[in-house]
Structure 1
Amino acid sequence: MAGTKPTYRLIILVILALAATSCYNYKNIGLLQERNPALPVYDPVDYADYKLRINDEVIFRLMSSDETISRLLLSDQYISNNQQVMAYRIFPDGTIDLPYIKRIPVEGLTVHEAARVVEKRFREVLPDASVIMALANKNFTVIGEAGSGVFPIYKDRLTIYQALSMSGELNYTGDHKRVKIIRESDAGTEILEFDIRPRSVINSKYYYIYPNDIIYIQKAKSSFWKINSYGSFVSIFTSSLSLILTAYYNVK
């Protein structure tokens, strides 16, 4: 039995080592890290306004002092005080179809640019026409280890951190190294993959969320072996130690 004690000591040390390496720590899941040389550094980019795409839906309000012509142009949508709210989907040819006015191409324009184009067309019949436009389908989607659902973009320049806070929480089990944003662009569907932990995410191309983005957080492959808290670590260690001691005294 002389060699039994060293054997059990070795087993205890192995359990301690495995448990310690299985715990989540700041380097694994912490955000806004600055002093971790193992993390990538992302270059800052200028923010670009969202550009309208086919199947987007825009809403706009037409304002004019000429109540008669306003009612004629938008009779079905007339509300009050010479203000009308309209919603139009962008057709496959990139245009929107306005009543009594030829189709207007708006694909590829920002919302502000599209508003000016529509306003200019309305001023052909309403010299003092004023148009305020907004995007109707301002939503993003979250799936995976950060909750799931479709959420509204409630402000301009919504960030990845704000978006994830709306969906609930970025779980410990999520793969922080491989966050994906699925985004439609002129080149087709893009998948932007990045590590969300470094501070350089701020102002990078991954920082802002655009309409129709899908944020996907996959489950980390190592999450099966990870322990969520040191309380869990203590519980596992004491249970393992109790089992070893029981076996030891039974053998003895």
Structure 2
Amino acid sequence: MKQHFTPYTFKNLLILALVLVLSACASTKKVTYFQDIPLAGQSQIKEMAQFTEPVIQSDDILTINIFSIDPQSALVINQASSLQTLGANSAANTNQQQIMGFLVDKNGEVEIVGIGKVKLAGLTTYQAKALIREKAETLYNKPSIEVRFANFKVTVLGEVNRPAVYTMPNEKVTFLDALGLAGDLTIFGRRENVILIRDHAGKKEFIRFDLNSTEFLNSPYFYLKQNDVIYIEPNKGKAASLNAARTQTYAIIGSALSVLVVLFSRL
């Protein structure tokens, strides 16, 4: 039986051929990390980025625990301040996840029941712990202090599998940690031109990374700070896939119009 090719079939075959050509032209060279590492043998990076502890800023939320020989008195302080901050967050936005802790105000201070206001902005958590211990020793016998970030968050946007805002469990977070939480880049992400956006001294910094090279491992921006934003740009393959889908839609519309024209011409 002789098979006839309709215009619709021909257009679909043309689209399929186009997709196959684009796929054949794609190279793994654009999607592989650390391409300058030798394929065989052992290799070491000569220099790695040095980790510097993040400093406390206004609008940070801190977990501050004070322990003493009298646990009941320390418990009252921790609960009172935590519930106070929680209530403020609830009034601001009930749809967001509630974070219990001490809010650093615009003056860089936190208010601790029994101790009063303590200026912590510009300090690391280690330095903040020492300062709070010094003030708490006037009230408690051999107090033990714990200070941690409760909202150390990093935002990952663009061509990743799970774009979102991620709250980190600790302060030592790398660029690769954030990408791992986001499910890695999609096949359409530009690995040679990743953008990091950071707040610094009231201004926005924009830093570009090339994940194809090990050079970014010794960048001072390799370790992330609170409120950093990572943006992954789409590559040309993303545009090509969108164009292919658009072409297919146009082909279907064109075929439908052809059928309508034929039907009306026979009426």
Do the structures match in fold with TM over 0.5?
Answer: yes
* Cα contact 1:179–1:216 (8 A) shared by 2: yes
For the structure 1 residues 65 and 30, does the alpha-carbon distance in structure 2 shift closer, same or farther, using more than 3 Å as the test? same
**1:94-109 to 2 correspondences below 5 Å:** 94-109=108-123
- The ranges of structure 1 where at least 4 consecutive aligned residues each deviate by more than 6 angstroms after the TM superposition are none
What is residue 50 of structure 1 aligned with on the other side?
A: 54
Task: Identify unmatched segments of 5+ residues in structure 1.
Answer: 1-14, 37-42, 79-85, 227-252
Task: Report the 3-state secondary structure (helix = DSSP H, G, I; strand = E; otherwise coil) of the residue aligned with 2:218.
Answer: coil
Task: Report the 3-state secondary structure (helix = DSSP H, G, I; strand = E; otherwise coil) of the residue aligned with 2:25.
Answer: coil
For the structure 1 residues 72 and 197, does the alpha-carbon distance in structure 2 shift closer, same or farther, using more than 3 Å as the test? closer
Percent of matched pairs sharing the same residue: 23
**CA distance in structure 2 between the aligned counterparts of 1:187 and 1:72, rounded to whole angstroms:** 36
Task: Report the 3-state secondary structure (helix = DSSP H, G, I; strand = E; otherwise coil) of the residue aligned with 2:29.
Answer: helix
Task: Letter of the 1:31 partner, please give it.
Answer: Y
Q: Cα offset for 1:190? A: 1.5
TM-score scaled to structure 2, two decimals? 0.65
Q: Does 1:117 align with 2:135?
A: no
**CA distance in structure 2 between the aligned counterparts of 1:137 and 1:162, rounded to whole angstroms:** 16
Task: Report the 3-state secondary structure (helix = DSSP H, G, I; strand = E; otherwise coil) of the residue aligned with 1:202.
Answer: helix
What is residue 177 of structure 2 aligned with on the other side?
A: 162
TM-score scaled to structure 1, two decimals? 0.69
Q: Does 1:215 align with 2:230?
A: yes
* Cα contact 2:49–2:222 (8 A) shared by 1: no
Per-residue Cα deviation, 1:191-233 (whole angstroms, up to 9, x for no partner): 222212101222322322222211111112454348xxxxxxx
Q: Cα offset for 1:52? A: 0.7
**1:54-93 to 2 correspondences below 5 Å:** 54-67=58-71, 69-70=73-74, 73=77, 76=80, 87-93=101-107
For the structure 1 residues 168 and 68, does the alpha-carbon distance in structure 2 shift closer, same or farther, using more than 3 Å as the test? closer
Q: Cα offset for 1:177? A: 2.1
* Cα contact 2:36–2:212 (8 A) shared by 1: no
Task: Report the 3-state secondary structure (helix = DSSP H, G, I; strand = E; otherwise coil) of the residue aligned with 1:113.
Answer: helix
The CA RMSD measured in Å over matched residues stands at 3.1
What is residue 260 of structure 2 aligned with on the other side?
A: none
Aligned length, in residue pairs: 200
For the structure 1 residues 77 and 44, does the alpha-carbon distance in structure 2 shift closer, same or farther, using more than 3 Å as the test? closer
* Cα contact 2:157–2:232 (8 A) shared by 1: yes
What is residue 199 of structure 1 aligned with on the other side?
A: 214
**CA distance in structure 2 between the aligned counterparts of 1:27 and 1:109, rounded to whole angstroms:** 43
For the structure 1 residues 27 and 122, does the alpha-carbon distance in structure 2 shift closer, same or farther, using more than 3 Å as the test? same
For the structure 1 residues 52 and 156, does the alpha-carbon distance in structure 2 shift closer, same or farther, using more than 3 Å as the test? closer
**CA distance in structure 1 between the aligned counterparts of 2:71 and 2:193, rounded to whole angstroms:** 56
* Cα contact 2:54–2:171 (8 A) shared by 1: no
* Cα contact 1:179–1:195 (8 A) shared by 2: yes
**CA distance in structure 1 between the aligned counterparts of 2:139 and 2:132, rounded to whole angstroms:** 12
Task: Identify unmatched segments of 5+ residues in structure 2.
Answer: 1-16, 39-46, 83-99, 242-267
Task: Letter of the 1:28 partner, please give it.
Answer: K
**CA distance in structure 2 between the aligned counterparts of 1:61 and 1:48, rounded to whole angstroms:** 24
**CA distance in structure 1 between the aligned counterparts of 2:150 and 2:55, rounded to whole angstroms:** 13
**CA distance in structure 2 between the aligned counterparts of 1:212 and 1:75, rounded to whole angstroms:** 27
